[in-house]
Structure 1
Amino acid sequence: MDYSKRYLKNKKLISQKEQEVLKSKKVLVLGCGGLGGYIIEMLARLGVGNLKVVDFDVFDESNLNRQILSDEKNLGLLKVDEALKRVKTINSDIKTEGFNLKIDGENIEKLLTDIDLVVDALDSIPLKIMVEEKCSRLGITMVHGAIGGWVAQVAVIRPGNFILKKMYGGIEKGIEAELGNPSFTPAMAASIQVSESIKILLNKGESLENQVLYIDLQNNTFSTFEA
C-alpha cells in the first residue's frame, strides 16, 4: 500500500510527521453502535494505528436506519466482530482488539490499560459517569458524545473535570431512549468527536475542554456552555 497516496488528502491538515504520530496512538472506543460505528470508521481512515473497541450487543433490524456498521447480511452478528472486520477492510495495518462484554467497575480498568484516549459512544448515563471517574483517576482524557433525535452534545473531559457527573446528576436515562435517532445525528456528533480526538492526539488547535457543545439540528443552533 502506497501510504503517500492513502493520506494524500490529509496532508494539508495533517503533516507526514503527524501522520506517524497518529499511527503510534492507542484509542479506546466504547460502543460500536450509532456513534461508535462512525467513530471507528473515521479513526481508521485517519490512520490511528491502534484501536480497541468494546460492545456487548448484536446487530438487529432496528440498527439499519443509522448504524454504519450494520447491514442486512450481518443481522444477529456481534457488533465488535463486525467493527474489527470493517477496520481491516479499510487499513489492514491497524492493530485492533475487540471485547464483547458489558462494561463494569471491574473490567473498565483493564480496558483503560495503555490507552492514549477514550472516545465515549455509550448509551448509558451511569456507565458514562463511571468511565469519566476511572479516566480521571488514571489520567486519561475522554471525548464524550450523546445523541437523541435532532440533538447532540460533545465535550472533552480532562482528568479531574467531572463534566458528566455535574451535568447528569441523578439522571439514569438519556434522551435517546425517548427520542430515538435518525441517520444524520450520530454521524454529525461522531464527526465532531473524531475531530476533537485528532486535535488531542496531535496537540493542535483548540479543543472543547471545560465546555459542552450542544447542537439542535431541527432549529439549526450550535451553542457551547462552560462545564
Structure 2
Amino acid sequence: MLSINLVDILHRESEVISGIKTIPFAICCKIASDFGLKSREVEIIALKNDICPSRYQRNIGTIGIAGQLKLLSSRAAVVGCGGLGGWIIEMLARAGVGEIVMIDRDVFNEDNLNRQLFSTEANIGKPKSLAAAERVTVVNSAVDTIAHIISLDEKNGRELLEGSSVVIDALDNNKSRRILFEVCRNLGVPFIHGAIGGMFGQIGVLYPGDRSLWEGDDVPDKGIETEKGNTPFTPTFVASLEVSEAIKILSSLEKGLKGELLWFDLTNIELQRIKISRLDD
C-alpha cells in the first residue's frame, strides 16, 4: 500500500512539460523525506512509472525515460579525479548516473588550478576524491558516491571496481592504465580510455576481447604532456567524449567508439579514428 500511495502522489504532483510527465525536484525531496527513502529511490520509482524528475527533463529527448532509468540504476567508476576525472564526474552526476565510484590517492596542488574543476585556492592539499564526492552531493543529491583515497593496483583493483557497469580512465600514466584495463578485462567491464597532452588527446572504448593499448615493455609511462603540459580546455574536450561513450553504454544507445581509438590535434583541428585489434585477430 505504501508504494501505491507513493506512486499516486507522484502522478498527482506531476505536470506535463514539453510532452513529458515531470515531477519537480522539491516534491521528490519531500516524498523521500515523508516515506523514509533516498532521493535516488524515489526518482527510480518515478521513472518506472513514466514520470521524469525535472532535473533530467532535458536528457529525455536523447536517451528516453528508459535510458534515464538505466543511468540512475547504474554504477560508473572513475579512476583519477583530477584534470579529466573532475569534468567526467561532474557530467556523470548531472546526467543522473546513480552511483559513482571515485578513486584517486592524490591531493590538489597549485599547478592543478589551471584545469582541474574541483581544485580551488581554498582546497589546496585536499584529497581529490573527497572533493569530488562533496561536489556531487551539491550537484545531484540523488547520486550515491563512493570515494577512495587510494591508488588502484593489481591487488585491490577487483574489489574497487566490482559491480561497476563501466570504468572510465582519467589517469595520467600508462603503467596504471595497463593495470586498470587488465582488471576491467578480468571483470568483463567496458573500459573507456582517455589521455591528454597540450592540445592533443585520444579516447577509446575497449572491451574484454580487445587487445591492450599498452602491451610490451617499450610503451612509455608518460606522453607528450611532459613537454606540452595540459591546457584548461583539452581535458574538457576529452572528458565530454568519454562521458558521451559512457552514457551510450549505460543507456544502451548505439555502439559509438567500440573497438576504436579517436585521436585528435586541436592545433590544426584534426581527428583520426584508429581500429583497435582484438585478441583473436
TM bucket, shorter chain: over 0.9
Q: Which letter maps to 1:162?
A: R
Amino acid in the other structure paired with 1:220: I
Match of 1:76 among 125, 149, 172: 125
Given the alignment of the two structures, is residue 181 of structure 1 paired with residue 230 of structure 2, yes or no?
Answer: yes
How far 1:177 sits from its partner (Å)?
2.4
Paired position in structure 2 for 1:67: 116
Query: What whole-Å deviation, never above 9, does each CA across 1:131-152 have from its counterpart, x for those lacking one?
Result: 1111111111100000000001
CA contact (8 A) 2:75 2:98 kept: yes
Q: CA deviation at 1:168?
A: 8.6
CA contact (8 A) 2:63 2:253 kept: no
Which of 10, 15, 26 is the equivalent residue of 2:75? 26
Aligned pairs for 1:185-196 (under 5 A) are 185-196=234-245
Counterpart-to-counterpart distance in 2, 1:11 and 1:115: 23
Change (3 A) 1:168 1:4: farther
CA–CA separation in structure 1 for the residues paired with 2:59 and 2:172:
31
Matched, 1:55 2:55: no
**Equivalent position of 1:85 in the other structure:** 134
Please report the TM-score for the alignment, with normalisation by the length of structure 2: 0.78
- Deviation digits for residues 198-223 of structure 1, max 9, x if unmatched? 11111212321111000100010011
After TM superposition, the runs of 4+ consecutive aligned structure 1 residues lying more than 6 A away are none
Aligned residues: 227
Superposed displacement of residue 18, structure 1: 1.3
CA distance in 1, matches of 2:220, 2:160: 25
Q: Distance in 1 between matches of 2:148 and 2:219?
A: 29
Greater radius of gyration (CA) = 2
Q: 1:204 aligns with which of 248, 253, 262?
A: 253
Q: Aligned-pair distance for 1:160?
A: 2.0
Contact 1:132 1:164 in 2 (8 A): no
Helix, strand or coil at the partner of 1:212: strand
The structure where helix makes up a greater share of residues is: 2
Amino acid corresponding to residue 83 of structure 1 in structure 2: A
Aligned residue for 1:213? 262
In structure 2, stretches of 5+ residues that fail to align are 1-24, 29-51, 277-281
Alignment counterpart, residue 158 of structure 1, candidates 196, 207, 211: 207
Unaligned runs of 5+ in 1: none
Structure 1 residue aligned with 2:62: 13
1:133 aligns with 2:165: no
Letter in 1 for 2:157: I
Q: CA separation of 1:219/1:110 partners in 2, compared to 1, >3 Å: closer, same or farther?
A: same
